Amino acid sequence: MLNFYRLNQDYLRFDGNDRLDLIGRLSTNQVITLEKYNGMKTILTTDKGRFVDLLTLYDFGDFIFSTCSFNNSKNVLDHLEKYTIMDDFKVADMSSTHKTILFYGENSEKLSKEVFCIDPEGLINNDFSLCIDDDHHAIIAKNDDEFSGIYFIYAAKDNEYWNQKIFSQNNINAFGLNEISAGDYEIIRIRNGIPAFGKEMSDLTNPLECGLNRYVSFTKGCYIGQEVIARLDAYDKINKHMVGIKSDNTISTAEEPGDVKITIDNKECGFVTSAAIDDTKNIGLGFVKTVSLDYNKNYQIKHKGSYTDCKITKLPII
């Protein structure tokens, strides 16, 4: 079976001779090494090392196309413009112009080869190729998180064309195409400990607390927030860790991260960020202070004066 999910994202375009240099000075990864058809994830952080957003950069040689979190493009734009002074750098918000489908499962590479004429075996991390079909272009990009599979990113104006080409009855039968719901996507995301912007990735957390070390270079030059993140790493001073949560009862969540507390021995030691029901199991994600972290102990979730027993687990949640 080949599952797919229509992923909500915002999109940006970066132009100018200083585009890689500026993004490198503002984000965590070594983006200056990007070359044409390379893709890379990097994190924009505040001066306190907190999240602005997680970007995926796709280098087209003379410009960079980027994805960011849904409904967060303005926040990213404001952050970039704040630090753009004399740089040859321009950014355009393209959020309404594109769409993304994530294909994952055992047939994802077969679909890419037979329908898009792209062999993803040669792609690593987040690298990409272009699928060109008459006047219709799309990005076929490797996905490096726990979903794996491929991203298919295309112009919104071509939506009808690509839907007819990809989701023909023949392809549905041949590849076992199965669209998952937003609820199913959330369950898989939580189970695998994939942080989401506005939930795990927020102004209460930093990349190391979210387990996103692979998108942080500890050997590159300075960037906004670098001193905080480097100090946390050098002195092993990560204040809290993202954990899985399991409970026999419904796990409460709130509109704002940090509102639903995790307690131990009647003392607050963390907070819940995401929750879902996986079959009959209540699962979630949250953060627990390092000094209170013990996977063998019992915890409680505190919300509006009531308490729910829970266990915290390592990720992925099993």
Q: Give the per-residue pLDDT at 206.
A: 97
Query: Do 141 and 225 belong to one domain?
Result: no
CATH number of the domain encompassing residue 143: 3.30.1360.120
Query: Do 202 and 157 belong to one domain?
Result: no
Residue numbers of the domain that contains 109: 1-166
Query: Do 160 and 201 belong to one domain?
Result: no
Query: Do 150 and 4 belong to one domain?
Result: yes
Instruction: Give Cβ neighbours of residue 287 (< 8 Å, ≥ 6 apart).
Output: 200, 204, 205, 209, 240, 241, 242, 243, 262, 270, 271, 273
Query: Do 224 and 309 belong to one domain?
Result: yes
The model's confidence at residue 258, banded by pLDDT at 50, 70 and 90, is confident
Last residue of a domain, which of 166, 182, 217? 166
Query: Do 195 and 245 belong to one domain?
Result: yes
Q: Is residue 171 part of a domain?
A: no
Q: Give the per-residue pLDDT at 54.
A: 98
Q: Is residue 108 part of a domain?
A: yes
Query: Do 199 and 143 belong to one domain?
Result: no
Query: Do 197 and 304 belong to one domain?
Result: yes
Q: Give the per-residue pLDDT at 253.
A: 86
The model's confidence at residue 131, banded by pLDDT at 50, 70 and 90, is very high
Query: Do 125 and 220 belong to one domain?
Result: no
Q: Is residue 185 part of a domain?
A: no
Q: Is residue 181 part of a domain?
A: no
Last residue of a domain, which of 132, 150, 166? 166
Query: Do 12 and 155 belong to one domain?
Result: yes
Span 241-259, mean pLDDT? 90
Query: Do 111 and 15 belong to one domain?
Result: yes
Q: Is residue 262 part of a domain?
A: yes
pLDDT tens, residue by residue, 18-63 = 999 999 999 999 999 999 999 999 999 999 999 999 999 999 999 9
In the predicted model, is pLDDT for residue 74 greater than 90? yes
In the predicted model, is pLDDT for residue 65 greater than 90? yes
Q: Please, what is the average pLDDT of the chain?
A: 95
pLDDT tens, residue by residue, 82-121 = 999 999 999 999 999 999 999 999 899 999 999 999 999 8
Q: Is residue 184 part of a domain?
A: no
pLDDT tens, residue by residue, 267-316 = 999 999 999 999 889 999 999 999 999 999 999 999 988 999 999 999 99
Q: Is residue 52 part of a domain?
A: yes
- Domains of the chain: total: 2
pTM of the model: 0.95
Query: Do 128 and 200 belong to one domain?
Result: no
Q: Is residue 179 part of a domain?
A: no
